[in-house]
Amino acid sequence: MSSTLTDMRRILDIAPLRSYVAVAECGGFQRAATSLHLSQAAVSQHVRRLESATGRVLVERQGRGSRLTPDGEHLLRQARRILAIHDETLHGFGMETEETVVIGSTEHAAAQLLPFLAAALEQSLPRYRIRFRIDRGTNLREGLEAGRIDLALLLGPATDPRATSVGDLELTWYSSPLWRRPAATQPMPVVAFDHPCALRTCALEALSSQAIPAVIGAEAIQLAGVQAAVGAGLGVALMATLGQTPEGLVARDDLPKPAPLPLAVWSRHGLAAIISERVAAALGGLLAEPATAEAAIESRQLARRG
């Protein structure tokens, strides 16, 4: 009996191995727990089970963080092989080991980009369940650092090694159909998202470049609020809509045309490269051929209804 119990403790179970690989790839227990949607205590227990099974110390503290020991590095290589064979075996029997990928986006891009992205990733990442989170850019960056978000679609240049540029978003001015431009001596009322916001900055800079005085006529924290304020005639707003005019608004071509905003995909530390590569490729295709992407979405929706 004693020998049997000892043998059971020597088993390398799949769940602890997944937690262990996540600790290594995410850079710590808390980030691993967040990415796996487990508690930190559960992840710690999984690592302790592996240390009991191997009889070796696998992870040791380093300052406020942790690092793998030489034995831990050896197990990491083997764990990746074991998990790959495990998942490949299940796949051979028609069973998928589904993992969740959380993609964050600001509202500027969500309405136009996410429907296409969801449709495209059904084909390119069939073994992953995609979950989206809509939030402010600052919160998305914090989510990446904490491991709560796997990928984030963020406006601005790709100046970080974790970021991949996917193209530029064209920006368009919109107003209510009844809105009339004020006299040259009067400031231009602008409807904008709360500060900080890349679109808000672009709007004010575009007007300033043509010496057009501006004033914030209304602010909102959500896209629906911005569109409602514009529809109410409280001012004009700069939006990224991929040429799709929001209902009840009209595009304006009598205001300074702003430069397009670059869009980048940011990845959390340790995320599998294939995921970020395929998300970036899908978004790049959308920005390069928006009409084709829109047709693909409509075709897929019709097929589902049929």
Please give the Cα distance from 255 to 171 (Å, whole number). Answer: 12
Q: Is 94 exposed, middle or buried (0-12, 13-18, 19+ CB in 10 A)?
A: exposed
Q: What architecture is the 99-167+262-305 domain classified under in CATH? A: 3-Layer(aba) Sandwich (3.40)
Task: State which residues of the chain have pLDDT below 50.
Answer: 1-6, 293, 296-297, 299-306
289 vs 282: CA distance, rounded Å? 11
Convert the pLDDT of each residue in 256-292 to its tens digit.
998 888 888 998 877 878 888 888 888 888 777 655 5
CATH of domain 172-259: 3.40.190.10
- Residue 24 Cα distances to 18, 128, 162, angstroms: 10, 21, 17
CATH of 2-92, one of 2.60.34.10, 1.10.10.10, 3.20.20.70, 3.10.450.50: 1.10.10.10
> Distance between CA 138 and CA 205 in Å, rounded?
21
Report the distance separating Cα 164 and Cα 79, nearest Å: 29
pLDDT at 249: 94
The confidence score (pLDDT) of residue 305 equals 47
Residue type, 19: S
Mention every residue, 6+ apart, whose C-beta is less than 8 A from residue 217.
189, 190, 191, 229, 234, 235
Domain ranges in the chain are: 2-92, 99-167+262-305, 172-259
What pLDDT score does 303 carry?
45
Tell me: cis bond preceding 196? Omega within 30 of 0 counts.
yes
Q: Work out whether strand 128-134 and strand 99-105 pair parallel, antiparallel, or are unpaired.
A: parallel
Could you read off the pLDDT of 226-247 as tens digits, one per residue? 999 999 999 999 988 877 788 8
Check for a shared fold between 99-167+262-305 and 172-259. Answer: yes
